[in-house]
Amino acid sequence: MLVTDLFSAIHWLPVVVMTLVSFALGAFWHSPVLFGKLWEKENNYNIPKDELNMPLVFGGTAVLHFVALAGLNAVISGSGALNGLLTGLLVSIVWTLTTLGGTYLFANRSIKLLLVDAGMYVVLFALAGLIFGIW
């Protein structure tokens, strides 16, 4: 399949919906209910919120998630629920977990932090794959 064929296969509405879902998942994932306290501890996170550039953080994250989800949609769109789920898992484990893992090794970050950060993307891409496979 040609790259131009992949681009034309993207269904944009599910990509937009899953981009919004990614923020809801991220908020829940990083809340004190799940992994928020561990994430802050492992990151030595102590930046005051008023010092963060929130438009850059949230806008940049939205653009990056949108691009990643559009790419996933190009590969999965309409291929069926099971195929979508398995492809989302494969992509997240083979590329996301491993590339973050290499970066975390060089940055001397903990395995706990890797599992929290990559774990969210494994869940996100598996869920997105399932949805994209159906939609």
Tell me, rounded to whole angstroms, the distance of Cα 115 from its chain centroid. Answer: 13
Whether 133 and 81 have beta carbons less than 8 Å apart is answered as yes
- Determine what percent of the chain is predicted with pLDDT higher than 90: 83
| pLDDT single digits (tens) 17-75 | 999 999 999 999 999 999 999 999 999 887 787 888 989 999 999 999 999 999 999 99
> If you average pLDDT over every residue of the chain, what do you get?
94
What's 70-126 look like in SS3?
HHHHHHHCCCCHHHHHHHHHHHHHHHHHHHHHHHHHHCCCCHHHHHHHHHHHHHHHH
Task: Kindly state whether residue 22 falls inside one of the protein's structural domains.
Answer: no
Residue 108 has a pLDDT of 96
Residue 10 has a pLDDT of 94
Which of the four pLDDT bands, split at 50, 70 and 90, describes residue 6? confident
Which structural domain, as residue segments, surrounds residue 71? 1-11+55-135
Task: Kindly state whether residue 92 falls inside one of the protein's structural domains.
Answer: yes
Total structural domains in the chain? 1
Whether 130 and 84 have beta carbons less than 8 Å apart is answered as yes
Task: Kindly state whether residue 32 falls inside one of the protein's structural domains.
Answer: no
For residue 100, pLDDT over 70 is answered with: yes
